[in-house]
Amino acid sequence: MNNSEHEYRLEMAGISKSFGVVSVLKNVNLKVKSGEIHALLGENGAGKSTLIKILSGVHQKDSGSVVLDGQEITPKNTHEGQVLGINVVYQELSLVNDLSVAENIYLHKLGANKTWMNWKGLIRDAQELLDSLGFKIDASAKVKNLSIVQKQVVEIAKAISEDTKVLVLDEPTTVFDPNDVKKLFNILFKLKASGVSIIYISHHLDEIFTIADSVTVLRDGVDTGSMAVADTDKDGVIHLMIGRELKDLYPKRNIKIGQVPVFEVKNLTAKDTMVHDVSFDVKPGEVLGIAGLGGSGRTETAKLIFGADKKKSGILILNGKEIKTNSPVDAANHQIGFVSEDRKEEGVFLPLSIRRNISVTSFDSISSRLGFINVENEYKKVLGLIEKLNIKTPNSEVNVKNLSGGNQQKVALAKWLSIDSKVIFIDEPTRGVDVGAKIEIYNLINEVAKKGVGVVVISSDMPEIMGISDRILVMHEGTLYGELQKEQFSEENILRYSIGEPLKQHN
């Protein structure tokens, strides 16, 4: 290794990039030493992903220089980036579902220089690699049969399967539970010890302060600071990220919660998923949290109620009247809203404009009987929501795919906030969303509750669900295992119910 000659393994200096008229990066610098874990922080839309994509060769910079081990590099595509030793694990998984885990891990090598593949060797190598990571995954399994956590692990395995000099991880832990996060950190520490430079992007400041050596913060395409982690603290970093102090992440809500439930579920059992015997109610103005481990049936329960999955038995009661939701159309007609956890696949229309995304649920109120849209009303409504939700965009005609994750999430929410829902299910309201946008989303949830809507929030983020809920239901293996009142909220209690244990009796 010749990196000892250079203080930094990687030096990105004066990087600028614009897409059309939108300037995304302005004179950004990023310097990473070898054997260092460097955190890259910033709100959604700050330019982190673009910077990484320039490094890896997805995008080409407009100006500036990228120097790796003392040599200027200009990768034209991700393959060139990989050859140079730059590997990126993106937020969006990029696995081939119909191939095996082993084939996915070595996808870039398949057919590289041999005519015939050594399948056994391939699977053996992949299995060794996976085992060394500490996750139990069968290398010969088809990727489509893996859980989302396992897929993420395969993605990471893929990135470190070759001579990696710079490894970039973009929000790797969004789908992980604390145990998995620990395993991942162990992997990263090992890689670090072997001299790999790691760029770590995350919204979880706790993680940053656990593993990172140094940090660079971006805000609106400008780097606002770069320092050793030891020289700063959470407040300092947050200040650099949003340019203001953060008083309270979970805004207070002063709402009188109704006595009579707006919505009741009785003995709901699914036909095709493991959800069974789910009974609960939500009152007007209440924010009801549903917690539980990944795979405990939270999302499936919401989808069942919304009519997206088939029911076997059970009763739904809205405002005292029994209703049937055999399809999402029925649910929407009964003014039940559902914001999916998977915003790209199920939430927004990426290729369509913000306006077309938002108005899709509210045509009833902006069109004539024959279906002709009152465009003026549509603009008024959409622009009003863009302003209210503080969606960062030059105008309403920008395609949603060009927005950052947090702003996409706001669009997904806007779709349902634009109509008068009676009950709204929000699955993972802030997954992959930065701090600033999180607060805005919590404020929105409060505002919706204030209107007397029953809000059901599903979340894996413990501080979040405790911060915003009036009451928390905990799911375990397909059914509700316990209910926590506000005074009982604690990570321990949620976790105990999540794994099917009773609460400790210490009062």
Partner 1 sequence: MALTLKQQLSSPGGILKFLVKYNTIFIFLLLVIFSALISDVFFTSVNLSNLLKQVSGIGIISIGMLIVILTGGIDLSVGSMVALLAVTFAILVNIFALPLAILFTIVLGFGLGSVSGYLVAYQKMAPFVATLALMTIARGMSFIYSKGSPVTFTTVGGQYMSNFANNSTLGIPNIAIVFFIIVIMAMVMLRYNVFGRLIIAIGSNEEASRLSGIKVNKYKFLVYAISGALAATAAIIVASRTNLGSPNMGMAWELDAIAAVVIGGASLNGGKGTAINTLMGVLILGLIGNILNLLNVPSYPQQVVKGAIIIFAVLLQRFESK
50 binds partner 1 (CB under 8 A): no
- The least CB distance from residue 347 to partner 1, in Å, is 6
348 binds partner 1 (CB under 8 A): yes
Name the segment binding partner 1 (CB under 8 A); options: 96-104, 213-221, 364-372, 467-475.
364-372
Among 323, 341, 309, 312, CA closest to 431: 341
286 to 315: interface string for partner 1, x by CB under 8 A? --------------------x-x-------
- The least CB distance from residue 348 to partner 1, in Å, is 6
Contacting residues for 444 by C-beta, under 8 A, at least 6 apart:
389, 413, 417
363 binds partner 1 (CB under 8 A): yes
Residue 107 or 352 with smaller CB distance to partner 1: 352
349 binds partner 1 (CB under 8 A): yes
- By three-state DSSP, how is residue 383 classified? helix
User: Sheet containing 479-485: which strands, arranged edge to edge?
Assistant: 336-339, 423-427, 454-458, 287-292, 471-476, 479-485
63 binds partner 1 (CB under 8 A): no
Residue 188 or 331 with smaller CB distance to partner 1: 331
Q: How far is CA 485 from CA 469, 474, 499, in A?
A: 9, 11, 18
Three-point CA angle 402, 385, 237, nearest 5°: 60
By CB under 8 A, name the one of 360, 420, 490, 491 that touches partner 1. 360
- The least CB distance from residue 27 to partner 1, in Å, is 18
260 binds partner 1 (CB under 8 A): no
329 binds partner 1 (CB under 8 A): yes
- The least CB distance from residue 391 to partner 1, in Å, is 14
387 binds partner 1 (CB under 8 A): no
Q: How far is CA 262 from CA 305, 326, 335, 367, 445, in A?
A: 14, 20, 12, 29, 17
- The least CB distance from residue 79 to partner 1, in Å, is 18
Residue owning tokens 């010749």: 2
209 binds partner 1 (CB under 8 A): no
Name the segment binding partner 1 (CB under 8 A); options: 2-10, 63-71, 223-231, 361-369.
361-369
Name the segment binding partner 1 (CB under 8 A); options: 90-98, 244-252, 255-263, 390-398.
390-398
- The least CB distance from residue 64 to partner 1, in Å, is 18
Residue 9 or 303 with smaller CB distance to partner 1: 303
Name the segment binding partner 1 (CB under 8 A); options: 38-46, 98-106, 365-373, 448-456.
365-373
Measured CA to CA, the distance from residue 452 to residue 255 in angstroms comes to 9
How many chain residues are in contact with partner 1, going by CB under 8 A?
34
Residue 186 or 326 with smaller CB distance to partner 1: 326
- The least CB distance from residue 124 to partner 1, in Å, is 38
Residue 34 or 49 with smaller CB distance to partner 1: 49
57 binds partner 1 (CB under 8 A): no
Q: What is the CA radius of gyration of the chain?
A: 24
Q: Give the burial class of 272: count Cβ atoms within 10 A of its Cβ; 0-12 exposed, 13-18 middle, 19 or more buried.
A: exposed
Alpha helices by DSSP H, 27-118: 48-56, 78-83, 101-105
- Helix or strand run (H / E) with residue 215: strand 214-219
Residue 239 or 344 with smaller CB distance to partner 1: 344
350 binds partner 1 (CB under 8 A): yes
Among 377, 382, 381, 374, CA closest to 398: 382
Q: Give the burial class of 505: count Cβ atoms within 10 A of its Cβ; 0-12 exposed, 13-18 middle, 19 or more buried.
A: exposed
- DSSP type of residue 27: E
Q: Which string of DSSP letters, residue by residue, matches 409-450? A: HHHHHHHHHTS--SEEEEESTTTT--HHHHHHHHHHHHHHHH
Terminal C-alpha separation, the chain = 61
Q: Which string of DSSP letters, residue by residue, matches 150-162? A: HHHHHHHHHHTSS
Name the segment binding partner 1 (CB under 8 A); options: 50-58, 155-163, 323-331, 496-504.
323-331
Q: Give the burial class of 208: count Cβ atoms within 10 A of its Cβ; 0-12 exposed, 13-18 middle, 19 or more buried.
A: buried
- The least CB distance from residue 369 to partner 1, in Å, is 11
367 binds partner 1 (CB under 8 A): yes
> Does residue 489 contact residue 466 with C-beta atoms inside 8 Å?
yes
List of residues contacting partner 1 (CB under 8 A):
20-21, 306, 308, 328-329, 331-333, 338, 340, 345-352, 356, 359-361, 363, 367, 370-373, 375, 394-395, 397, 415
